[in-house]
């Protein structure tokens, strides 16, 4: 998505530093005929490290810094003086960043906590200086270890937003509107499909200063798992959510069928999503009267707690927040 501030996927090229070479120096002083070996060790090459940082919400800062190269360790020198270690390159990333090897797709690790470190590439170790190799049989080793080579590689960094509640629904279901009434977030709202093109996060305050994070993602349509609509590009953001709130508007022709389609798309994307707790909100219920709601109750999908809500009139919004909070405590 060109020009977007929400960057949740970036490829970086990284190289760790080489270790410095150990020194093969011999002590040379006036009046000392045979100074022994006194070559110092090489310094360590810089590593490439990711570090969790709450101040970051996206990976946009890496979009223009795709090359991350650490320096080499200094060589050792005489008088057993060790070369300096090179500085590690520490890259701050938002919590929920997953790193993969770009060639193999293999997961290198993920960063989920403030300050948590993930080493992408270790710097090369410095070589040992020649004095380490002095022995009874060899008093004058002319050998010192070379420094270990650094490593290089391409990595894919992906962000999985660590929200508590993920909103799941077709375009126009009223997801962004709900987020705007339960949190301070101001997502764009409009009566056409795909108004939301990138995830919005909001903090929802529940009673007694408790709060949770809600993630509004772009609408899902049938065939999303095959790449229709915005495809599954944003579905990964709900992989981490502990509760999924399904949202289907009251004027749907068939709520059960719509629910099955949404569930089907999620399952085909990642069957593990079915292990999460699910709640259903029938949205836009300001258009219904009590009688209609009673009638509709019999046509709701089974096995999922449901609530009739309206973001416009406020119908059952406090109850919804409580229900979500309770689900999160389970
Ligand atoms: N009457 C009524 N209209 C609503 C309600 N909630 C949302 N709408 C309207 O439904 C339309 C779609 O709302 P959005 O919140 O943008 O829907 P969305 O699910 O975020 O849509 P996408 O971002 O396209 O996936 C807008 O015109 C809203 O004003 C509601 O509770 N009652
Ligand atoms: Mg929206």
Q: How far, in Å, is the centroid of ligand 2 from the Cα of 171?
A: 7
- The predicted-structure confidence for 189-222, as pLDDT tens digits, reads as follows 888 877 777 777 787 888 777 778 888 888 887 8
Give, in order, the Cα–Cα distances in Å from 300 to each of 90, 172, 306, 310.
51, 20, 8, 17
8 Å CB contact between 159 and 111: no
Q: Would the CB of 175 count as within 6 Å of ligand 1?
A: yes
Residue nearest to atom 23 of ligand 1 (CA): 196
Instruction: Please give the DSSP secondary-structure letter assigned to residue 323.
Output: H
Q: Which two tokens stand for residue 41?
A: 């060790």
User: Residues 153-191, buried b or exposed e (16+ Cβ, 10 A)?
Assistant: bebbbbbbbbbbbbbbbbbbbbbbbbbbbbbebebeeee
Q: In what order do the strands lie in the sheet with 89-93?
A: 89-93, 48-52, 117-121
Whole-model pTM: value is 0.65
Ligand that lies nearest to the alpha carbon of residue 192, given by its number in the listed order: 1
- Ligand 1 within 6 A of CB of 180: no
d(CA 20, CA 75) in angstroms, rounded, equals: 4
Contact 21, 110 (CB under 8 A): no
User: What was the pLDDT predicted at 13?
Assistant: 97
Contact assessment for residue 247 and residue 238, using Cβ atoms and an 8 Å cutoff: no
Atom 5 of ligand 1, nearest CA residue: 284
Nearest to 61 by CA among 93, 108, 33: 93
Tell me what pLDDT residue 1 has: 36
Identify which of 172, 183, 314 to mutate to test ligand 1's pocket (most ligand atoms within 8 A of the CB): 172
What is the 3 state secondary structure string of 129-157?
Answer: CHHHHCCCCCCCCCCCCCCCCCCEEEEEE
Q: Determine the pLDDT at residue 198.
A: 73
Give the separation between CA 107 and CA 157, rounded to whole angstroms: 10
Q: Is 172 in the pocket of ligand 1 (CB under 6 A)?
A: yes
Same fold, 1-159 and 165-329: no
**Ranges of the chain with pLDDT below 50:** 1-3
CA–CA distances in Å: residue 234 to residues 11, 73, 138, 180: 17, 42, 65, 20
- What does the pLDDT read at residue 33? 66
State the distance from the centre of ligand 1 to the C-alpha of 220, rounded, in angstroms.
14
Is the CB of 46 inside a 6 Å radius of any atom of ligand 1? no
Q: Give the number of the atom of ligand 1 that is nearest the alpha carbon of residue 192.
A: 24
Q: Which residue, by CA, sits nearest to atom 10 of ligand 1?
A: 174
Q: Is 79 left (phi over 0), alpha (psi -120 to 50) or beta?
A: left
User: What angle do helix axes 317-329 and 175-182 make, rounded to 10 degrees?
Assistant: 90
Asked if 9 contacts 156 with a C-beta cutoff of 8 angstroms, the reply is yes
Cβ of residue 283 lying under 6 Å from some atom of ligand 1: yes
Q: Please give the backbone phi and psi of residue 48, each rounded to the nearest 5 degrees, phi first.
A: -110, 120
With a 6 Å cutoff on the Cβ, whether 199 touches ligand 1 is no
The full set of domain ranges for the chain reads 1-159, 165-329
Residue with CA closest to ligand 1 atom 16: 189
Q: Which token pair is 324?
A: 């979500």
Pocket test for ligand 1, best of 170, 188, 189 (most atoms within 8 A of CB): 189
Instruction: Report yes or no: 193 and 269 within 8 Å, Cβ to Cβ.
Output: no
14: three-class secondary structure by DSSP: strand
- CA–CA dist 245, 167 (Å, integer): 5
| CATH no., domain 1-159 | 2.70.210.12
First to last CA, the chain: 37
| Closest listed ligand to the CA of 224 | 1
Query: Which pLDDT does position 6 carry in this prediction?
Result: 62
Distance, in Å, from the CA atom of 142 to the CA atom of 146, rounded to the nearest integer, reads: 13
What is the predicted pLDDT for the residue at 231? 62
Q: Could you name the CATH architecture of 165-329?
A: 3-Layer(aba) Sandwich (3.40)
Q: Which of ligand 1's atoms lies nearest the C-alpha of 189?
A: 16
Asked if residues 182 and 189 have their Cβ atoms less than 8 Å apart, the reply is no
Residue nearest atom 2 of ligand 1, based on CA coordinates: 284
SS3 263: helix
* Beta carbons within 10 angstroms of residue 145's beta carbon: 22
Burial of 329 (0-12, 13-18, 19+ CB in 10 A): exposed
């Amino acid at each position: 998505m060109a020009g977007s501030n929400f960057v949740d996927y970036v490829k970086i090229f990284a190289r760790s530093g080489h270790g410095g070479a150990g020194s093969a120096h011999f002590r040379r002083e006036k009046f000392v005929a045979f100074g022994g070996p006194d070559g110092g060790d090489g310094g360590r090459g810089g590593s490439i490290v990711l570090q969790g940082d709450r101040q970051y919400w996206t990976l946009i800062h890496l979009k223009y810094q795709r090359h991350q190269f650490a320096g080499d360790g200094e060589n050792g020198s005489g008088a057993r003086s060790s070369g300096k270690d090179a500085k590690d390159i520490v890259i701050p990333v938002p919590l929920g960043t997953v790193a993969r090897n770009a060639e193999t797709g293999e997961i290198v690790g993920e960063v989920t906590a403030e300050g948590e470190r993930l080493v992408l590439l270790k710097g090369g170790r410095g070589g040992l200086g020649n004095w380490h190799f002095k022995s009874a049989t060899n008093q004058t080793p002319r050998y010192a270890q070379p420094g270990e080579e650094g490593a290089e590689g391409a990595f894919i960094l992906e962000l999985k937003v660590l929200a508590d509640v993920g909103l799941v629904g077709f375009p126009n279901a009223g997801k962004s509107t709900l987020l705007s009434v339960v949190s301070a977030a101001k997502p764009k709202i409009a009566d056409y499909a795909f108004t939301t093109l990138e995830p919005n996060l909001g903090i929802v305050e529940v009673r007694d200063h408790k709060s949770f994070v809600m993630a509004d993602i772009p609408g899902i349509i049938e065939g999303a798992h095959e790449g229709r609509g915005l495809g599954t590009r944003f579905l990964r953001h709900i992989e981490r959510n502990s509760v999924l709130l399904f949202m289907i508007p009251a004027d749907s022709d068939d709520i059960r069928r719509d629910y099955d389609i949404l569930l089907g798309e999620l399952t085909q994307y990642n069957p593990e999503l079915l292990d999460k707790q699910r709640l259903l909100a029938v949205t836009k219920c300001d258009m219904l009267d009590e009688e209609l709601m009673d009638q509709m109750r019999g046509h709701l999908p089974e096995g999922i707690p449901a609530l009739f809500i309206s973001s416009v009139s406020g119908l059952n919004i406090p109850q919804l927040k409580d229900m979500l909070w309770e689900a999160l405590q389970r």
